[in-house]
Amino acid sequence: MSGAAASVTATLIWPTPTAIGISSALGLVALAWLGRRGHSNSWSKWPVHLLPLHLAALLAPSNSGLLLIPLAFVLARRWPRLGAVDVLAVAFTAWATYCDTRHFPGPAGSQFYWLLCLLLLATRHLITNVREFVSVCIAYIAGCIYVAVPVIAQAPASTGADWRPTSNVNINYTAYVLLTGIVLTIAVGALVQPHGKIRIAQVIAALILAAGIWATGTRAALLGLGAGIAFTLTRKLTASRTGWLLIATGFVPVALLSVALGWYGDAQLPELERFFNRQTGDLSGRLDVWPYARAIWESAELTGVGMNHFRAMNPLGIGSHNIVLTLGVDFGWIGVILYASMVGAAMAGFGRHVRCRRLGGLLLLSWVLIWATGHWEAASAAWLVLGLWSRLPELVDSLPRPTAPFSSVSRGEPEKLLHPTAAIV
């Protein structure tokens, strides 16, 4: 693509505020139309309080839209009754604020975490059925497609060289949100009985997002995509409780701690670069910055040094690019434990459902390299999906189960949703 053509393409389709506003309005109209079809001819029965959440999901791929979340609670006219996940989210956010103001009195940089916390609470408590869950997923996937198209259009022919789009966009973050969009696309198919057109739309959406990931050349996202595909194909592993426990309580936490603390990974992770044309030998500076992060964390093990101050404290001027090191440097071991407990509590009930185990394992394996080599701890997409995934056990409970040996499920036919409000068309 020529430079002039690329410039015109970026001007037309890159997510500018005006374009985002127009696409957001169209997306909300489409979602309201889905709600109208799912209920009755009365628009008043569509849950209006979900519209800010839909808009936040639509803008999550751009890491924006969080200021709309308080409006969702105002429209709902109720405050959630906090559960374990909510208490841990609030506790982590309060601790982050304390650490930030303790070291640097004044306006707290951790105030962004309070908006993320509200997003998690809204996702957990305002979504009441499968249809609403799927509608939020659709909004997020639509935002991902909107971001993916210009990335594909502007990407060079080869993914071997570093490149940046013409707009001020973090290409790694873009790859992470697109990978998460593929996981949500699979979740939609797991919770509803897709008709032929919906199945085709799912495949097309997944292919567009996969092409966007490939265009970014982000290695963690590409490897996460490969891990997700391999996990999806190994049905026996994904269905077993043993496999779920090995992933959730074994492989993922051990891998993250090993890389963060330097037990394993500094010498082994560069070997993954040989699968890609872009080989830096130091994981694009990560192997150079991790020793500084470990040293600074050791100087303030419990409380850290405050949010976003590590960049000014290391000579490379970059973040630590590892979720454990980032949380440890910013908020100490207490922050790491609170955040990990929140993620664990969000998936605590997954062991009793095959669908939950499959979707939980898929998400963890897709994210593990992102957590290990990127910045994903303060991403609105990550907190949104954690809130969605924490609802999965209850939503799966609402789906029908076979009541006789010759039920439709035992004959291999697709399961039907329990209630009309659980259908999206």
User: Cα separation of 255 and 275, whole Å?
Assistant: 20
Q: For 83-104, what is each residue's pLDDT tens digit?
A: 899 999 999 999 999 988 877 6
Q: State the average pLDDT over residues 58-71.
A: 86
Q: Which amino acid is at 115?
A: L
CA angle in degrees (0–180, nearest 5) for 174-304-95: 80
Please give the full DSSP string across 98-164, using - where no structure is assigned: HHHHHHS-SS-TTHHHHHHHHHHHHHHHH--SHHHHHHHHHHHHHHHHHHHHHHHHH--S-TTS---
Q: State the average pLDDT over residues 303-325.
A: 87
Nearest Cα to 185, choosing from 231, 129, 139, 227?
Answer: 139
In a domain, 239, yes or no: yes
**Cα-Cα-Cα-Cα dihedral of 217, 218, 223, 226, to 10°?**
-50
Q: Which residues contact 289 (CB under 8 A, 6 or more apart)?
A: 314, 316, 318, 319, 320, 321
Confidence (pLDDT) at 277: 52
In a domain, 153, yes or no: yes
What's the whole-number average pLDDT of the chain? 78
Q: For 366-388, what is each residue's pLDDT tens digit?
A: 999 999 988 999 999 999 999 99
Confidence (pLDDT) at 169: 67
Nearest Cα to 305, choosing from 339, 285, 335?
Answer: 335
Q: State the average pLDDT over residues 252-263.
A: 90
In a domain, 256, yes or no: yes
List the beta strands (DSSP E) in 140-270.
Answer: none
More confident residue, 143 or 35: 143
In a domain, 377, yes or no: yes
Assess whether pLDDT exceeds 60 at residue 55: yes
Q: Which amino acid is at 29?
A: V
User: Cα separation of 173 and 164, whole Å?
Assistant: 12
Query: How many domains is the chain partitioned into structurally?
Result: 1
Cβ-contact 88, 341 below 8 angstroms: yes
Q: State the average pLDDT over residues 206-210.
A: 94
Place of tokens 């979900």: 50
User: 316 vs 103, 288, 291, 293, 404, CA distance in Å?
Assistant: 22, 8, 11, 11, 64
Chain centroid offset of residue 225 CA: 13
Q: For 160-203, what is each residue's pLDDT tens digit?
A: 445 555 455 688 899 999 999 999 999 998 888 767 777 888 89
Assess whether pLDDT exceeds 60 at residue 41: no
Confidence (pLDDT) at 423: 33
Q: For 1-28, what is each residue's pLDDT tens digit?
A: 444 333 333 333 344 444 544 454 455 4
Confidence (pLDDT) at 123: 94
Assess whether pLDDT exceeds 60 at residue 211: yes
In a domain, 409, yes or no: no
Cβ-contact 277, 160 below 8 angstroms: yes
Q: For 324-351, what is each residue's pLDDT tens digit?
A: 999 999 999 999 999 999 999 999 989 8
| Residues making up the chain, counted from first to last | 425
Q: State the average pLDDT over residues 46-60.
A: 87
Confidence (pLDDT) at 119: 94
Nearest Cα to 373, choosing from 290, 278, 317, 279?
Answer: 290
In a domain, 420, yes or no: no
Token code pair at residue 284:
């694009």
Q: For 226-255, what is each residue's pLDDT tens digit?
A: 999 999 888 777 778 888 999 999 999 999
Cβ-contact 375, 322 below 8 angstroms: no
In a domain, 415, yes or no: no
Q: For 115-174, what is each residue's pLDDT tens digit?
A: 999 999 999 999 989 989 999 999 999 999 999 988 888 876 544 445 555 455 688 899
CA angle in degrees (0–180, nearest 5) for 97-52-43: 160
Q: Which domain holds residue 170?
A: 3-398
Confidence (pLDDT) at 84: 93
Q: State the average pLDDT over residues 206-229.
A: 91
In a domain, 372, yes or no: yes
Confidence (pLDDT) at 3: 41
Confidence (pLDDT) at 61: 87
User: Cα separation of 55 and 83, whole Å?
Assistant: 25
Q: State the average pLDDT over residues 47-74.
A: 87
User: 39 vs 33, 187, 343, 422, 425, CA distance in Å?
Assistant: 10, 23, 34, 10, 10
Assess whether pLDDT exceeds 60 at residue 288: yes
Confidence (pLDDT) at 12: 35
User: Cα separation of 33 and 39, whole Å?
Assistant: 10
82 burial class (0-12, 13-18, 19+ CB within 10 angstroms)?
middle
Q: Which amino acid is at 380?
A: S
Confidence (pLDDT) at 176: 95
Positive or negative, the CA dihedral 150, 156, 158, 160 is: negative
Q: For 290-310, what is each residue's pLDDT tens digit?
A: 889 999 999 888 988 888 788
Assess whether pLDDT exceeds 80 at residue 78: no
